[in-house]
Structure 1
Amino acid sequence: MFSTGQLIFGILFFIAFVIVVGYQYRKDLNLHKLHYKGTIWVLIAFIGFIGMIAAIKFIFM
């Protein structure tokens, strides 16, 4: 399916990507806390809405 070189490249790319994204997130953490207060409620509402849709699907199936 994938050659050994492709697998090694994919794994190394993933590790580097996670490190860079984590570094950038830590660097901007103070700005996120300042400008994005209360966004957790949007996430909770979104997850609840998706859960409600799934529940309705299984109830009426």
Structure 2
Amino acid sequence: MFTQGQMIFAGIFAVVFIIVMIVSYRRDIKIHRKQYKGSLWILVGFLLFIAFLLVVKNLSKG
């Protein structure tokens, strides 16, 4: 399905992409802490809302 060259390219691309993303994130970590303060609570609220919807769905199946 894929040639050996395509598989090698995909592997190298994935490794380099992940390394670049890690380096970029580490450079911007101070900015992220300042700008996204409190965003964890938004995520928690969203997950609780999804859980609530699933509970209501399962209770109303009966």
Bucket of the pairwise TM-score, normalised by the shorter protein:
0.7 to 0.9
What percent of counterpart residues are identical?
A: 38
SS of 1:23 mapped into structure 2 = helix
My pick for the range that moved more, 23-32 or 51-60, is 51-60
Q: Give the structure-1-normalised TM-score.
A: 0.77
Task: Please tell me the root mean square deviation across aligned C-alpha atoms, in Å.
Answer: 1.7
Q: Which residue of 2 aligns with 1:28?
A: 28
Question: Structure 2: which 5+ residue stretches go unaligned?
Answer: none
Q: Does 2:6 align with 1:6?
A: yes
Shift, 1:48, TM fit: 2.6
Structure 1 unmatched ranges of 5 or more: none
Moved over 6 A (4+): none
